[in-house]
Amino acid sequence: MRRALVTLLAVGLVSLSAGCGLLGTDRPGPVVESSPGASASPTSPGGSPPPGEVVSVDRDWHGARVRFDVRPVEADGELAVLRYAFGATAADPSDPPSFSTVVLNLGGLGSAGTDGRGVRLVDTGAGLVHPVAYAPGGSPAAAIEWVEDGALTGTAVAVFAAPGSDAVDVLLPGFGAVTVPVVPAGDGFQDAVDQVGGVGEAETKKLRAFTRAYDAGSATSAEDDDVTVTLASDVLFDSDQHVLSRQARGVVDRAATSIREQADDGDVHVVGHTDDVDTDAYNQTLSERRAESVAQRLRARLGDGFVVTEEGRGEDEPVAEGTSPAARATNRRVEIEFQGHLVVEAGQGTDVPDADVPTAENGAVTIATSGGEYTVAVESMVRRPGAIVGTLVAERTEGSTIDVAWFLPSYLEQIGDRRFGVLGDLAGPHNLSLLGAQERVLPFDYVEEERSGGFVLRRLLGDEEIKPLDQGGSTTITVVWPDTGQDAVTVDAPDRFRITDVPVTTSPTGD
């Protein structure tokens, strides 16, 4: 039977079902190659793209071998068009693959009908990510055309805001990341834009880097040139007090050292925040006094080259929703703001915590959960400008019960103030870390939506939902971290596993 279908991604995408997996640890890794000319797959929607270098990726998928041929991104200065072809060949000719076998996940966190737009263009050197644009009607500006006739072949087109660099990384959720050049728009460019229904809004988002000290006393975030060091008030002060303890003075002193390393100028601003317990007036005064205590200590440690100012904002700017003890503890904080850049101290420092979890040196680990047993290995760590792109492979070797948070047992407990939503908090790799000398380096994220009350919903740069696996099922997980500067990294999944001494390679396109 021959079928052809063009599907707008907002309504037609297929989600990854439990038990469908990707590359297992005992299977060969992906084949990434560059080749000139057109793919053997059908003509792309929106007309034929100009000839150019094609970057191909092959992966095993649910009893089939799936190939992606990704073309250069075409840009006209305002918009960019991404086109790629895909094909799947079954290992068993009597059981040909269907479209539901190939999960393209262009529509969100892996669920059909969501509007999160999973495929993204990433310019790590500029610190930017380009999500799929919106068509005027509000659906993602992307489309798929596929043909099922014994073998499955198809093409896809998606429109983005135009990158400003000569090359970008393309994140294909569930299948990894590839680097492609950015070229001038060809003759079929406008046809491709028309194919997806035109463009109503094309956004570019700033990437945020995030680290947290091993003692959890401080966290640092950097978005563009804005750096914020957040100190937990419960570490700095006793309840309802504003005088720094001896331990708190050490925390502030370490923050001063970080500011000297990272600041581009001498202006530092300290902001105190409280939770919503007690009256507005009381909390405002308490936040001012706490900000003043931290600012005074910073002035003494930073010296004459810095101008430190302070203010209190009371309970007006919570970063955690709700009134639970955990939410209120998160909202009690002192933030130190300055212009600069994130610096991660490379090497293995003495502060790196011991891990009472399965550990391997650049190899596979076996982990056990309440629902089964899994193996996890690092397939690659590739250095890109300002970033490390990591790909892990995992397989369920025992058990068949549903094991939702098998990969990272976060259960809505994210490291730091990062707010990814319930699905991401529960089933994503958001806590997967690289270990620096003094702090845990978390994956890049960016703002997806700003809500009323000051709350911000964020998206992870990488795969965002790790699905439950049946026995024998496997999956590939891609995550992008800030570059730690290390030649070999330690990958740490809190309370699950640790893989040490993983070499970092350089992308063939250079950095």
Q: Do 426 and 483 belong together in one domain? A: yes
Q: What is the CATH number of the domain that holds 301?
A: 3.30.1330.60
Q: Do 267 and 188 belong together in one domain? A: no
Q: Do 46 and 182 belong together in one domain? A: yes
Q: What angle do CA 507, 509, 511 make, to 5 degrees?
A: 70
- Going by pLDDT thresholds of 50, 70 and 90, the confidence category of residue 43 is very low
Which secondary-structure segment (H or E) carries 253?
A: helix 246-262
Q: What is the pLDDT of residue 61?
A: 66
- Going by pLDDT thresholds of 50, 70 and 90, the confidence category of residue 174 is confident
At which of 340, 370, 399 does a domain end? 340
Cα-to-chain-centroid distance, residue 55: 22
3-state secondary structure 49-81: CCCCCEEEEEEEECCEEEEEEECCEEECCCEEE
Q: Do 87 and 192 belong together in one domain? A: yes
Q: Do 311 and 404 belong together in one domain? A: no
Concatenating the DSSP letter of every residue in 100-135 gives GGS----SSSS-TT------EEEETTTTEEEEPPBP
Q: Which residue has the tokens 């960019």?
A: 80
Strands 359-361 and 333-340: unpaired
Q: Do 186 and 240 belong together in one domain? A: no
- Going by pLDDT thresholds of 50, 70 and 90, the confidence category of residue 20 is very low
Q: What is the pLDDT of residue 74?
A: 96
Return all residues near 122 (Cβ < 8 A) that are at least 6 apart.
128, 129, 130, 168, 169, 170, 171, 177, 461, 480
Q: Do 320 and 372 belong together in one domain? A: no
d(CA 160, CA 97): 30
DSSP helix/strand/coil, 122: strand
The mean predicted confidence, pLDDT, of the chain is 81
Fill in the amino acid letter for 120.
Answer: R
Residue 231 domain-assigned (yes or no) = yes
- Going by pLDDT thresholds of 50, 70 and 90, the confidence category of residue 412 is low
Residue 69 near residue 54 (C-beta atoms within 8 A): yes
Residue 364 domain-assigned (yes or no) = yes
Host domain of residue 426? 359-506
Residue 303 near residue 260 (C-beta atoms within 8 A): no
Domain total of the chain: 3
pLDDT digits (tens, 9 = 90+) for 426-450: 778 999 999 998 899 999 999 988 7
The answer, as to whether pTM is greater than 0.95, is no
Residue 220 domain-assigned (yes or no) = no
pLDDT digits (tens, 9 = 90+) for 65-75: 788 899 999 99
Q: Do 169 and 37 belong together in one domain? A: yes
Backbone angles phi, psi at 145, to 5 degrees: -125, 130
Q: Do 53 and 176 belong together in one domain? A: yes
Record the tokens describing residue 317, joined without a space.
Answer: 């700017």
Fill in the amino acid letter for 477.
Answer: I
Q: Do 20 and 155 belong together in one domain? A: yes
d(CA 83, CA 44): 7
Q: Do 40 and 162 belong together in one domain? A: yes
Q: What is the pLDDT of residue 8?
A: 30
pLDDT digits (tens, 9 = 90+) for 319-340: 877 888 878 888 899 999 999 9
Nearest to 451 by CA among 321, 280, 273, 316: 321
Q: What is the pLDDT of residue 472?
A: 85
pLDDT digits (tens, 9 = 90+) for 105-131: 433 333 333 333 578 999 999 999 999
Q: What is the pLDDT of residue 42?
A: 36
d(CA 40, CA 37): 10
Strands 439-450 and 456-460: antiparallel
Q: Which residue has the tokens 């294909």?
A: 172
